[in-house]
Amino acid sequence: MKSTIGFVVFVLVVLGLLYSISGEKYPRVPDDAAHKGITDYALCMGCHGPGKQFPMKADHPPKYDCFECHKTKRIRDMMR
């Protein structure tokens, strides 16, 4: 009985880890005209910088490598 509970806990931990590395916790870059084909992060900041069209929240994580966290549909397709 004890080992059954241990196994269930183990499975839940593994599932949690898989979820945490799946990348789905970050909002995806929309697959629209504004975002298609952009690879230069300076362009991102033109719309997502402070005071711009769609600013990032002030508590946004460090803003260097956007695609490290925000996968585009395009990049996802390339990885298939």
User: Interface residues with ligand HEC (CB under 6 A)?
Assistant: 26-27, 29-30, 32, 34-35, 38, 41, 43-48, 53-54, 56-57, 60-66, 68-70
CB 44 to ligand HEC: min, Å: 3
Q: Is 23 left (phi over 0), alpha (psi -120 to 50) or beta?
A: left
CB 50 to ligand HEC: min, Å: 11
Q: In the complex with ligand HEC, which residue's Cβ is closer, 8 or 60?
A: 60
Long-range contacts of 36-39 (CB under 8 A, 24+ apart): 36/74, 37/74
Q: Please identify which residue in the block is written with the tokens 């992060």.
A: 41
